């Protein structure tokens, strides 16, 4: 399995920031891992142009469940693919919280992404209250079962475990806590996929991954890469995270 360093720019970045993508593409021409940058939709086509002929993949941050139609302001998976996206982040906790996205909707969106030939990066994770209430494993189990569509394969799907309380806070779970959740997710995948597929589907950790803690996180069993927010916004911060994954 090729590990994956993924960056989620969230609602950050204008054309001035495309230089970061050009810098990453130039620096990591011979990358030993997959690299995915998900800028805002406004930059997708230009970013995809800059990433051409490099190992960098460009992805989006959301898509609609339908391929086209009367949905003002929404963007469909085939449109993202047409703009040069190879993947799409789905079910990020910010979308689950800000837009009321349910796991059933996330599964529909992932099905739409697969139909358009996109890799679905499906996010899940517990809130602080759920962690403190010892609900973490129950929550991620429910989210995985309900968010994963029947079309999922190791090639077209990535799961990102992102504890809500670790996103943008500088807090990270302990090694044991990450290992526990990733182990449970890996086991749950065998409910849907055969053993080889379940073993090959990439499980990312996300939440306050930085150059300083990346190597420690990548050493944890069943962590096949990271979904990085703030530290993916500059090549200066994201490059050492990519290098740490290559060395893991």
Contact 79, 110 (CB under 8 A): no
Q: How far is CA 25 from CA 86, 199, 230, in A?
A: 15, 29, 19
159 binds ligand 13P (CB under 6 A): no
230 binds ligand 13P (CB under 6 A): yes
Q: Which of 57, 64, 229, 238 binds ligand 13P (CB under 6 A)?
A: 229
Using Cβ positions, the residue closest to ligand 13P within the complex turns out to be 229
Residue 38, phi then psi, degrees to nearest 5: -115, 90
DSSP code, position 55? S
Nearer to ligand 13P, 56 or 226 (CB): 226
CA distance 53 to 149: 31
112 binds ligand 13P (CB under 6 A): no
163: number of Cβ within 10 Å: 28
Minimum separation from the CB atom of position 182 to ligand 13P (A): 16
Does 17 participate in catalysis according to the annotation? Answer: no
Does 92 participate in catalysis according to the annotation? Answer: yes
By CB under 6 A, the count of residues binding ligand 13P is 14
- Among residues 180, 94, 191, 186, the alpha carbon closest in space to that of 145 is found at 191
149 binds ligand 13P (CB under 6 A): no
Q: Which residue stretch of 13-21, 96-104, 108-116, 202-210 sits at the interface with ligand 13P (rule: CB under 6 A)?
A: 202-210
Say how many residues make up the chain.
Answer: 248
Check 92, 94, 126, 182 and give the catalytic one: 92
Q: Which residues bind ligand 13P (CB under 6 A)?
A: 8, 92, 162, 167-168, 206-209, 227-231
């Amino acid at each position: 399995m090729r590990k994956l360093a993924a960056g989620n720019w969230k609602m950050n970045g204008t054309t001035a920031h495309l230089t970061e993508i050009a810098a990453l593409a130039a620096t990591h021409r011979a990358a030993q891992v997959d690299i995915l940058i998900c800028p805002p939709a406004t930059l997708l086509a230009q970013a995809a142009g800059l990433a051409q002929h490099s190992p960098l993949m460009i992805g989006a941050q959301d898509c609609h469940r339908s391929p086209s139609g009367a949905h003002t302001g929404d963007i469909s998976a085939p449109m993202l693919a047409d703009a040069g996206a190879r993947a799409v982040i789905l079910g990020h906790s910010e979308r689950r919280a800000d837009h009321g996205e349910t796991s059933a909707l996330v599964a529909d969106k992932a099905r739409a992404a697969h139909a358009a030939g996109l890799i679905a990066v499906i996010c899940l994770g517990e809130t602080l209250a759920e962690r403190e209430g010892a609900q973490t494993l129950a929550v991620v189990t429910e989210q995985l079962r309900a968010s994963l569509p029947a079309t999922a394969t190791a090639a077209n799907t990535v799961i990102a475990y992102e504890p809500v309380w670790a996103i943008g806070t500088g807090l990270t779970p302990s090694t044991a806590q990450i290992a526990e959740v990733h182990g449970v997710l890996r086991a749950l995948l065998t409910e849907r996929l055969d053993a080889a597929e379940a073993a090959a589907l990439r499980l990312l950790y996300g939440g306050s991954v930085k150059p300083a803690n990346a190597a420690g996180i990548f050493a944890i069993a069943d962590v096949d890469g990271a979904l990085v927010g703030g530290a993916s916004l500059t090549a200066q911060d994201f490059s050492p995270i990519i290098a740490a994954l290559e060395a893991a």
